[in-house]
Amino acid sequence: MPIATPEQYTAMLDAAQSGDYAYPAVNVTSITTINAALKAFADAKSDGIIQFSTGGGQFASGLNVKDSVHGCIVLAEAAHRLADKYDILIGLHTDHCQPEAAEGFLKPLITETTKRRQAGQNNLFQSHMLDASILPLEENMAISKQYLELCAANEIILEVEAGVVGGEEDGAAGTEDTPAEKLYTTPEDMLSVYESLNGIGRYMFAATFGNVHGAYKPGAVKLSPEILKQGQDAVIRKYGEEAKFDLVFHGGSGSEKHQIKETLEYGVIKMNIDTDTQYAFTRPISDHIMTNYEGVLKIEGEVGNKKVYDPRSYLKKAEEAMASRLVEACNDLESTGKSIAKSG
C-alpha cells in the first residue's frame, strides 16, 4: 500500500525528524506529473509527498467544470491507483488554502476521507494545509484549532503557517509586495502556535524565515534559517524536547544548498517544490517544439509529422525531466535511499 496509511505517514515524519532529513512535497496537476513524481521517488528510493493546490484541482477538473474539490479528488484517487505499482511510501497533501476558501475546499475533502474510513479504506489524503497566515496570529490560531480538530478526528495531519511567504503561488497568502517584516516568524509567534495547538492533534508548521515563492537566481532570496533554530529553542526550553516542531520549508526555489541543509538541522521535515519542477517539465516541451517546428505545425498546406505532434512524444520527455529534477531535490534534502516502506 504505497499511499501511506495514517500510521505509516506518522512514521515517515518521525523518521525524517530523527534522521535530520526532509521530504520533497511536489505539486502536481495531472496524471503525467503524478507519474513523474512517483518515478522520481522510486528512482531515489525515497518516500515523498505529492500535493495538490486549489488551482491544480481546478485545472484537473477541466475547463467546463473548474471545480477544485472535484479535481483534487480525481487526482488523489488516480494517485492511489498509480502508486500501487511502486514500493515506496507516498503521502497525499493539499497545499495552501486560505480561510475564506476552507469551508468549500478543506471540509469537503476531509468528508471524502471520512467516507473512505467508514468503508474500511485508507485516507484519501494524509495531510492538508490551512494557510491562515494572512490573519492576525490570534485569529489564525482560532481557525487552525477548528480545522486541526476536524483533521485529528480522521487521523489527518494539518499544516499551518504563521508569518507570510512572499511571492505568489496558488492559494498562498503572500504577494509580490509582502512587507519584509511579515516574512519572518518570531520565537514569540512560535511559542504561541505551540501553546494554541498542543494536545489537539499532530500538525506541521510552516514558520517563515524570508521564504519567497517563485523563481529566483541563487542568492537572490535572503533566508535566515537561524530563525527556525531560535523558535525551536524557545519552545523546547519551555516545554521540553517533545515540543519540537515538524517544520515545513515553503518557497525553496533559488535557495542555496547549504541553507537547505541548515534547515534540516532545525527540524524541517517537508520542503515544497513547484516552481523548479514546473520549469523542468516545460523545458523539454519547448525544445521539442522548436526542434520539430515544421513537423509539429502543418505549414503551408503540408501535413506535419504525427510522430512529433502526438502529445506523448513530448510529454514523455517532460515526465523524465521533471522526475530528474525531483531526484535532485531528494538528494538535497537527504531523503534519498531512506524509504521506510519495508519497515513502515
Q: Residue 152 falls within a domain, yes or no?
A: yes
Distance CA 162, CA 47 (A): 27
Active site residues: 95
Residue 247 sits in a domain whose CATH number is: 3.20.20.70
pLDDT at position 6 over 70: yes
Q: In a 10 Å sphere around its CB, with 0-12 CB exposed, 13-18 middle and 19+ buried, how is residue 229 labelled?
A: middle
**What is the CB neighbour count within 10 angstroms for residue 34?**
25
Q: Residue 1 falls within a domain, yes or no?
A: no
Contact indicator for 271, 206 with CB cutoff of 8 Å: no
* CA proximity to 226, closest of 262, 190, 253: 262
pLDDT value for 163:
75
Q: Any idea of the CA torsion for 58, 93, 26, 65, to the nearest 10 degrees?
A: -10
The domain tally of the chain equals 1
Contact indicator for 197, 203 with CB cutoff of 8 Å: yes
Q: Residue 338 falls within a domain, yes or no?
A: no
pLDDT value for 175:
45
H-helix or E-strand containing 204?
strand 203-207
Distance CA 72, CA 170 (A): 14
Sign of the dihedral through C-alpha 36, 42, 45, 49: positive
Beta strand pairing status for 48-52 and 90-94?
A: parallel
Start-to-end CA distance of the chain, whole Å, equals 10
User: Which residue type, as a one-letter code, is found at position 94?
Assistant: T
Distance CA 267, CA 11 (A): 15
Could you tell me what percent of the chain has a pLDDT over 70? 89
Q: Residue 341 falls within a domain, yes or no?
A: no
The packing angle between helices 99-118 and 68-83, to 10°, is: 40
Number of residues written out for the chain: 344
**SS in 3 state form for 127-184?**
EEEECCCCCCHHHHHHHHHHHHHHHHCCCCEEEEEECCCECCCCCCCCCCCCCHHHHE
Distance CA 190, CA 179 (A): 19
Partners of 247 in the β-ladder = 205, 268
- Structural domain of 272: 6-333
pLDDT at position 334 over 60: yes
Distance CA 260, CA 334 (A): 10
CA neighbours within 13 Å on the CB side: how many for 28?
Answer: 32
Distance CA 292, CA 27 (A): 29
Distance CA 12, CA 203 (A): 14
| pLDDT tens digit sequence for 145-176 | 999 999 999 999 999 999 755 445 555 554 44
| pLDDT tens digit sequence for 94-113 | 999 999 999 999 999 999 99
* Mean confidence (pLDDT) of the chain: 92
The packing angle between helices 137-152 and 99-118, to 10°, is: 10
| pLDDT tens digit sequence for 281-316 | 999 999 999 999 999 999 988 999 999 999 999 999
C-alpha cell at 191: 511559542
| pLDDT tens digit sequence for 37-91 | 999 999 999 999 999 999 999 999 999 999 999 999 999 999 999 999 999 999 9
**pLDDT-based confidence at 254, cuts 50/70/90?**
low
**pLDDT-based confidence at 253, cuts 50/70/90?**
low
Distance CA 249, CA 243 (A): 19
Partners of 127 in the β-ladder = 93, 157
**pLDDT-based confidence at 223, cuts 50/70/90?**
confident
| pLDDT tens digit sequence for 201-219 | 999 999 988 766 555 454 5
